Structure 1
Amino acid sequence: MKQSKSSLIAAIANHLNYDIYELELADVGSNSDLKWRLFAMPDQSILVIEDIDCTIMLQNRETENEERRTRKNQVTLSGLLNLIDGLWSCCTDERIIIFTTNRKEKLDPALVRPGRMDMVHMSYCTISAFKQLVFNYHGLCHQQLFEQIEGLIKEVKVTPAEVAREFMKSRDAQTSLQGLISFLLEKKTQQDYEPKTNTVYTKEEHPQEGGGGGEQELM
């Protein structure tokens, strides 16, 4: 889903006429270093921190004290939260911080609480997203190929960025839609042939009426 996230960030920056800056928290040595970097950002800018769930020390505040004993210089969750709140209170209209993650459930609740961070779920392309894209690129509200495309979108995992890329290949709506159908059919074939997880049951772990058991996943 990286393409969709990047496309959204680029669209926001283009709409607001803001500059984009990326920050790797792994390269930041301490909370003081992070403070200097955040407040050194120019106005009218977007700071992007990718894959926040993969950053050490930002998943659980309960481990901070223990980890701090072994690592004196590093960014902590409490340090990041204090800096975000301070930056927001003084520069709310001039700077935007965007975090990305594929595992929201791994983040500390304090980081994603309402009022501190607004969350946007970047799903695969939906029918409503497809209709908005086809209207934006070709000015169409309905076309005979829509029904087939909508059926495929329900079955195929495709990002809005991939759909937009197909629309950009031709200015002719019919050609563009037919190209999208071919692309979706190809992806559907690939997904149908992807290895699936098999499940077996053992009597000891998952007792059921007439036998059965707990499930084990075989990859």
Structure 2
Amino acid sequence: MANFLDSEVYDLELTAIKDNTELRRLTVNTTSKSIIVIEDIDCSIHLSGTREIEGSKVTLSGLLNFIDGLCAACGGERLIVFTTNHVGKLDPALVRRGMMDMHIELGYCGFEAFKALAKNYLEVEEHPPLEKVKELLEKVKITPADVAEQLMPKKLLAYDKASRCLERLVQTLQNAMKVGRKEEGEGRNVAGRTEGLTIEVFYFIFPIRRITILDFFFSYLINI
């Protein structure tokens, strides 16, 4: 998103913020073209009131007021992204229309999504292992985050990083497929297996450039 929108990214850790006043001060001081990320919102704040962790006291009402104020009073192009693994824990006041405008569930990685990741991380669009990856992705369930982890070059892989990273991904997928076959043979239900994987729901709030962002994520979801 940051590359697509040419925006700065701010990772906001609510448990490290002292109170609502500091929350407001930090966010208002972000650049006018920015993406503010609050991960695991269900764990970052006690959604029925306050959460006190080592002196931190940020309330749900304070968070709601911050969102309203940022969208209404601040100019520029600010996008707020929340992630959670437990949608049911979120307060209805936080997820209502007008507060969070887009809800996206990220599922498993398909080949088109993989190609986008390979282009972003390795700058490749054509490579011999791609067909093997395509074949494996049709049989193995893996999240985009797990794929991206395999495509991040290590220092030791500086030489011919694309080939080595893709080979590492192929090996990971093959190992996952072997584990799946073993569990099927033992009679375990692996059809909906998500152990070790994270499926997150992203919530977006965007006061402007709505159509541009919607177009971007619509194409992304089709690729997945």
Q: Which has the larger strand fraction? A: 2
Cα distance change of structure 1 residues 194 and 76 upon mapping to structure 2, 3 Å threshold? farther
CA distance in 2, matches of 1:197, 1:85: 51
Unmatched segments (≥5 aa) in structure 2: 190-224
Q: Flag the 1:182–1:74 CA change in 2: closer, same or farther, 3 A.
A: closer
Query: 1:203 corresponds to which residue?
Result: none
Write the deviation string for residues 146-175 of structure 1: whole angstroms up to 9, x where unpaired.
5x75553244232234445459886989x9
Give, as a single letter, the amino acid of the residue that structure 2 aligns with 1:43: S
- Select 1:15's aligned residue among 4, 20, 32: 4
What's 1:85 paired with?
68
Aligned-partner Cα distance in 1 for 2:129–2:85 = 36
Task: Name the CA distance, whole Å, in 2 between partners of 1:112 and 1:192.
Answer: 39
Instruction: Tell me, yes or no, if the aligned pair for 1:127 and 1:150 is still in contact at 8 Å.
Output: yes
Once structures 1 and 2 are overlaid, which stretch shifts more, 105-114 or 157-166? 157-166
Q: Which amino acid in the other structure matches residue 25 of structure 2?
A: W
Say if 1:131 and 1:20 are closer, same or farther in 2 by CA, change over 3 A. Answer: closer
Q: Distance in 2 between matches of 1:119 and 1:79?
A: 22
Contact 1:30 1:74 in 2 (8 A): yes
Residue identity in the other structure for 2:174: L
- 2:91 is paired with a residue whose SS is coil
Q: Which has the higher contact order (CA 8 A, sep 6+)?
A: 2
Equivalent pairs, count: 176
Match among 30, 39, 42 for residue 50 of structure 1: 39
- Coordinate RMSD, CA, aligned: 3.9
Partner of 1:105: 88
CA 1:198–1:181 in structure 2 vs 1: closer, same or farther (change >3 Å)? Answer: closer
CA distance in 1, matches of 2:15, 2:147: 33
Q: Could you say if the C-alpha distance between residues 83 and 96 of structure 1 is closer, same or farther in structure 2, counting changes exceeding 3 Å?
A: same
Deviation (angstroms), 1:122: 1.8
Supply the distance in 1 between the matched residues of 2:12 and 2:129 (Cα, whole angstroms).
Answer: 46
Q: Secondary structure at the match of 1:74?
A: strand
Tell me what 1:129 maps to: 113
Deviations 1:6-64 (A, max 9, x none): xxxxxx22232322222211122222221122212222222211111102322x3xxx3
Task: Sort the Cα spacing of 1:155 and 1:198 in 2 relative to 1 into closer, same or farther, 3 A.
Answer: closer
**Aligned partners of 2:152, 2:62: CA distance in 1, in Å?**
44
Paired with 1:105 and 1:96, the residues of 2 have a C-alpha distance of 23
Q: Deviations over 1:163-207 (max 9, x none)?
A: 45459886989x9877654431112224555799989xxxxxxxx
Q: What is the CA distance between 1:127 and its match in structure 2? A: 4.4
The TM-score, its normalising length taken from structure 2, stands at 0.59
Q: Is the 8 A contact 1:167 1:177 kept in 2?
A: no
What is the distance in 1 between the residues matched to 2:18 and 2:129? 57
Indicate yes or no: 2:78 matched with 1:95. yes
For the 8 Å contact 2:20–2:59, the answer to whether it is kept is yes
What is the match of residue 39 of structure 1? 28
State the distance in 2 between where 1:115 and 1:53 align. 19
Percent identity, aligned pairs only, is 41
Other-structure match for 1:7: none
